[in-house]
Amino acid sequence: MSEQRIFEVIYIKTSLAVLWDALTNPDVTQRYWGNTRIESDWQVGSKVLYLRDGEVTDEHTVLAVEKPRLLAHTFHPLFGAFKDEPASRVRFLLNESGEVARMTVVHDNFPPQSKVFPACSDGWPMMLSSLKTLLETGTPLPDFSFESQKAD
């Protein structure tokens, strides 16, 4: 069986400083991450809380920080069918060339028969597209429902 792994690369017309801020500033994350504030002090070992409408939906732990090039943390949703699943790992690798930042997202270490893996396989492209749109235009993508795309 092949490893469950999400690997996404996106190019954004922005600087590393702005991209780093977009990943770590809860006022910005709330704009492109489905109204979710991502809060942490971004120190290794610290908690990363995802808050939606004031409720903690995910609790992760910072694994590595090399501002502005690398950010890694565990990934552990606390709701629904996901809450009993062990944490996986997500890494953001950032670099730039001129006016373009390249962000690689690697999400791995999923347990066998993970329920988080298929949800994140759908979710990461949407979040990254919304982030790119926000940074390049000032407005994130509107909400998108995967349910509306199911075949009849």
Q: Could you give the domains of the chain? A: 6-140 (3.30.530.20)
d(CA 113, CA 65): 29
pTM for this entry = 0.91
DSSP E strand stretches across the chain: 6-13, 36-39, 47-52, 55-66, 70-75, 88-97, 100-108
Kindly compute the dihedral angle of the four CA atoms of residues 123, 69, 111, 4, in this order, to the nearest 10 degrees.
60
d(CA 101, CA 82): 32
Q: Is the Cβ–Cβ distance between 63 and 46 less than 8 Å?
A: no
Residue-level pLDDT at 148: 43
- Segment 65-123, tens digit of pLDDT: 999 999 999 999 999 999 999 999 999 999 999 999 999 999 999 999 999 999 999 99
**Closest C-alpha among 43, 78, 83, 87 to residue 62:** 43
Q: Is the Cβ–Cβ distance between 90 and 73 less than 8 Å?
A: yes
